[in-house]
Amino acid sequence: MLNRIFGLETEYGLLVNQDRPDHSPSWVAQRIRDHIFQSRRRGILDLHHRGHDEPPGNGGFLTNAGRVYLDMGHLEYASPECTTLTDLVAADRAGDRIIQGAVAELGLEDTVSIIKNNIDHETDATFGSHENYLVSRRFPFSRRGLTPLVTFLVTRQIFTGAGRIGCASDPNEWVQIGGLLLHRPGLRDARNRLLLPYQISQRADFIVNDFFEWVQHNRAIVNTRDEPLADPNQYRRIHLLCGDSNMAEYATALKMGTTGLVLQLIEAGQAPAGLAISDPVDALQEISRDADRTWEVRLETGQSISAIDIQEQFWMAADRHCRGQDEETDWVLDQWASVLAGLRGDYQGLVGRVDWASKLWLLETYREAEGAEWDDPVLKSLDLEYHNLHQAKGLYFGLEEEGRGLRLTTDRVITMAEDNPPRNTRAFGRGELIRHLLGAGSSTGFESSGGEEEEMPCDYVINWSNFRLRGAAPFFMPDPFKTYVQEVRRYVGGPQPASA
C-alpha cells in the first residue's frame, strides 16, 4: 500500500494440558525460545539489556528480521517491517509456524497448546495483539486530529473482532482523570456476566481509556507513546493495542489495510467529519456486547448511528480519495465494501472471513447438535480451540481445510517467510546481519578485553533502527523504507565481531 510500513506483535497464550503440570507455562515458554535460537539457530539472542524486563537472552532477532521474546512470561513474536499486506500476513503466520514448529520438535504437542487469542477464561488475564503503522511526523497527533481514528477503531471491531464467550470480570481499572489516576467503574458487573453469552471482541473489555501511553495497566484505544523506531524528525509510529489477534488471513489483511487507509485519509485531511463518539470506551464495549448486532453508538452531536453506517462513511471517503493508487488498495476497498454489505445480512455469510462470525457459527453448530446451553464448559474449550495453532486441532484450520477460510498466502510463501525477510524494507538488511552473525558463530559470552571494548562488553547490540558490532562504529537504519542491504554487507565485511 502507498507509503506505509506495517508491523504486528502477537502475544501467545500457552496452555499446559495436564491436571498436575510438571512445569509452568513460563518454563515451557523459555524452552520454546531456547529451542528456536539455540537448537534450530533461527536467530541471534540479545546480549544486552533492552529494558528492565528484558535481560540478555530474553529474546532476539530472527533470520526473517522479526523478533521472538518473552513478555511477562508470554511468548511474543514481532513481525519484520512490511510494506504490503501480503508480506505482513505471510510474516505473521510465519511467526505462528515458528513457535508451533518448536513445540512439535520438542515433542510437546500432546501436552502444550499455543493459543493465538487475547484472553484467559480462568484468570481474566489479557494479552495483546499490537498493530504498528508508520506515518509522517506531520501526522496530526492531537486529540482533535485523532478523533476520526478513534471513531474508526471503536467501530471496526464489527469485522475485525475475534469473538469470545462471556466477558471479563474485573470491574476496575486505572484511568487518568486530569492529573490523577483513579479507578474507572466498568460495565463488567456480575449480573452482566451471567447475561452475556457471547461478544464480538476479546479486547474491548480491557480498554479503559481513549488515549494513554501505558500498554498494560491503563490500556487505551490509541497508545500515545512516541517511539518511532525510525528517524524521529520524519516519522511517527502509530501503536495500537485495542484490536484482537486474528486467525483468518482475510481478517488480518482487512484490519491492517482499512486502518492504513484511514490513516492516509487523516494525513490528507480527507477523513469524514462530524463522527466523534460521545464516550468511545463505553461504545467500544457496548458494540462488542450487543447481542442484537444493531451496534448503535451515540455521537457528540447527540445523534445515534450504527457502526456499519460509520464504517460506510469511512469507506466512501477512502474510495473517493484512494481508489486506483495501487492494486492492494483497490482490493482492500472492494473487500471492505463486501464485508460491510455482509454485516447487514446473516452473519453466517461471513464465516471464513470474519473471526467472530466463524467462531459463533461453530459454537452455535455445537449447541444445536448437543442441546447445550451457553454455560456449558465445553463451549469455553471450543472457544480456545478455535485459536489453537496446531493445524490438526485448531478449529479455524478446519475451516481452511474445508475451503471456507479464505487464504491470501500459500504454505510455500509462509515457509519462505519463516527464514526470509521482506526484500523492500530495512528488514532485508537486518536479516543479512543476522545471517552473518550466525555464520560467524558469535559468542554469547560477556567477556571484555579492556580498552575501548569496556564500553561494549558483548559482541553485538541489535535494535530495530540500529546495530553495532564489537570494534566497529554504530550502524544506523533510520529509514524503514530503505533496505540497507549493500551497506550492511560492506559493514560486516570489515571488522568482524569476536567469536567463541
Catalytic residue numbers read 71
Measured distance CA(103)–CA(235) in Å, rounded: 38
Which helix (H) or strand (E) is 287 found in, with range?
helix 280-289
Task: Pick the closest to residue 100 from 18, 35, 19 (CA basis).
Answer: 35
For residue 175, the cross-strand partners are 182
Give the 3-state secondary structure of residue 147.
helix
Beta strands, E only, 201-322: 209-212, 220-223, 235-240, 296-298, 304-306
Give the 3-state secondary structure of residue 473.
coil
**Backbone CA torsion sign across 132, 137, 140, 142:** positive
Give the 3-state secondary structure of residue 221.
strand
Measured distance CA(99)–CA(73) in Å, rounded: 15
Residues 6+ apart with CB under 8 A from 183: 172, 173, 174, 175
**What is the bridge-based pairing of β-strands 304-306 and 296-298?**
antiparallel
Here the cell at position 213 is: 501511553
Task: Pick the closest to residue 313 from 258, 238, 256 (CA basis).
Answer: 258
C-beta of residue 434 within 8 angstroms of C-beta of residue 65: yes
Which helix (H) or strand (E) is 254 found in, with range?
helix 249-268
Tell me how long the chain is.
500
Cα–Cα distance list, 277 to 151, 200, 283, 344 (Å): 6, 19, 8, 21
C-beta of residue 40 within 8 angstroms of C-beta of residue 33: no
